[in-house]
Amino acid sequence: MEAKISTIKNWLGTGSINIFGLPMSGKDTQGLRLAEALGAEFLSSGIIIRAKETEVHKGYSDHGALIPTDVFYEWVLPYFAKPELASSPLILSSIGRWFGEEDAVMNSAKTANHEIKAVILLNISEADVESRFEAAKTLGDRGDRKDDKDLETFRTRLLEFRTKTIPVLQHYKSLGLLVNVNGDQPRNAVYAEIIDRLYQKATSAPVAA
């Protein structure tokens, strides 16, 4: 696996990999592990937004809906240009989840020398993520997140993904960036498949002139 990771590093440079999936699909878990392996910085739109909502006392996402696009642009996109991230690759967790936002994300990333090289989709069913949600609520390991306060709110998040984020992923697919990974398997197996899929992408990329 180390040889594959080295190849991925060389291919990625200071570029970005954006990870998508339903809530509870493991985006942050896999993203953090991938970032560590690649020596990359990890940026989660959810973490950024929840911190900003607390700071400005706004609860756009409290009921499970995505934040307005103009607010997303103001709060999240400036992170690409942060000087402390300039020399690092980036692993992104669901940055740009509303159809139409992906162009602004790609442009901001490319302008900051963090061009998006791949978009990973962790495939898992809504029934399975609902089961994970119920288990997490029982264990109490999700913290005091208002967008996870009950099943109704969680199902709003699933609906938002189905109606607003699926078109984003279809657009990335049309650009040849989408990488599908089976998210309904043990964490180590998901990670191994991510590495395999990225290695395949890295080794099939056209050589620069």
Report the CATH number that the domain containing residue 119 is assigned in CATH: 3.40.50.300
SS3 state at 85:
helix
What residue numbers bound the domain in which 69 lies?
2-203
Is position 208 within any domain? no
Give which of 8, 36, 29 is closest to 118, Cα–Cα: 8
The residues, any chain, with a CB within 8 Å of residue 102's CB and separated by 6 or more, are 96, 168, 171, 172
Q: How far is CA 204 from the centre of its chain?
A: 23
Is position 84 within any domain? yes
- Whole-number Å distance between alpha carbons of 152 and 64: 9
Instruction: Give per-residue pLDDT as tens, 197-206.
Output: 999 999 986 6
Give which of 205, 173, 172, 154 is closest to 7, Cα–Cα: 205
Q: How far is CA 51 from the centre of its chain?
A: 17
Is position 45 within any domain? yes
Q: By the 8 A CB rule, do 53 and 151 touch?
A: no
Query: What pLDDT sits at residue 152?
Result: 86
- Whole-number Å distance between alpha carbons of 115 and 176: 14
Is position 178 within any domain? yes
Query: What pLDDT sits at residue 63?
Result: 72
Is position 98 within any domain? yes
Is position 181 within any domain? yes
- Whole-number Å distance between alpha carbons of 9 and 23: 28
Phi then psi dihedrals of residue 17, to 5 deg:
-125, 125
181's torsion region: left (phi>0), alpha (psi -120 to 50) or beta? beta
Is position 167 within any domain? yes
What is the total count of domains within the chain?
1
pLDDT tens, position by position, for the chain (209 residues)?
Answer: 899 999 999 999 999 999 999 998 999 999 999 999 999 999 998 889 988 888 887 777 767 888 899 999 999 999 999 999 999 999 999 999 999 999 999 999 999 999 999 999 999 999 998 888 888 877 666 555 665 667 888 889 999 999 999 999 999 999 999 999 999 999 999 999 999 999 999 998 664 43
Is position 209 within any domain? no
DSSP H helical segments within the chain, as ranges?
2-12, 27-38, 45-56, 69-75, 101-111, 126-139, 151-160, 166-174, 187-204
Query: What pLDDT sits at residue 143?
Result: 55
